[in-house]
Structure 1
Amino acid sequence: MAEETKAFPSHCSYFSSHCLCFCFYCFSHHLFCNPLDFSEYSFTISSETPPHIAATSLALSEYAEGEPSAPKLEVKVLERGNSLKVNWIKQDDGGSPIKHYLVRYKAKHVSEWKPEIRMPQNSEYTTLSGLDWNTEYEVYVVAENQQGKSEPGVVSFRTASDPTTIPATLGCRCVSCSLAALLLSMLALLCLS
């Protein structure tokens, strides 16, 4: 790794016959105004004029903001069977607040993704509905902050095998007609026997 020499403003350091002073405010301000990544900075102070000061080194570490970690996902198939609730649990935000979550999903056997869903920063779930029956899906959720996007949180699930049927009630006309036809058929069978 190449070393870089930084020149600080002249007010940052001064020499006297007794000491060398260095402005740590300017150095730390430089670190926080120019974050690149997790970095370790070091500098050496020495004097070339009398009185000579032995070289002194100092190392500072800085954690700069980065992309967030992938959210953890949990899935719950809803009562209808072809709807799904996807919950995400926020992980490390990388030192910068989450701006929003991006949700993508598709059936595993197709290559085309459904349109991306953008959810607000304080959201914790989304509901996917109108899914195909008996189909395996995959869902990706990405957290995004000022520094960039996380790796996706990924989960797979399968919708219910058959559509949920609603049983007919006894007051329904079709049930009454079917019951009457059955009784007439049984009566005719008894008469013919």
Structure 2
Amino acid sequence: MLKLRSYLCLFLAVVALVLYWPIPVIMQFFVSEQTIYYIAIFWGRIVLFLLKYVMGITYRVSGRENIPDKPCVVLAKHQSVLDIFVLLALFEPHTSPFKKELLKIPFFGWMLASVKPIAIDRKAGRQALNVLVQQGIEKLKKGIWILLYPEGTRTLPGQKGKYKSGGVLLAKKAGVNI
């Protein structure tokens, strides 16, 4: 039964994406960057709804009182796809640097591109770090939170990867908290 619900949830999320993606892609030419963010993120809220009501997955946030009032750099452990959707509901508006290859995924990549994210070439080394810092500072000035996964990829619960310094460097250069 769990497998069936998983496939149903995935199917509904993909259908929602295919039906919804033209809206932010077209609207990006007519509204502000923050407005397009909220339009695009609605799909993420659909996914959270499906996870809750089809899969029965719920989440609880503790320590919300420790979240600053103004945008800053947020460092989080990336354990599953779920944490992406939960964190987008907590930090609005936000952007997360990600590997540029995601922009090539039909529908999803097109919608992702509409929010003008920080796309990183992981093979570019120092140049990728410079892109992160430069574009991250611009986003923070616009009131957009920067959400980073300092290990650079998903890690299983309990595992510890090598932490990268990009988030700390960005926060220092931008003069914001972590």
Provide TM-score, normalisation by structure 1. Answer: 0.20
Between structure 1 and structure 2, the one with the greater Rg is: 1
Q: Which has the higher contact order (CA 8 A, sep 6+)?
A: 2
Which protein has the bigger strand share? 1
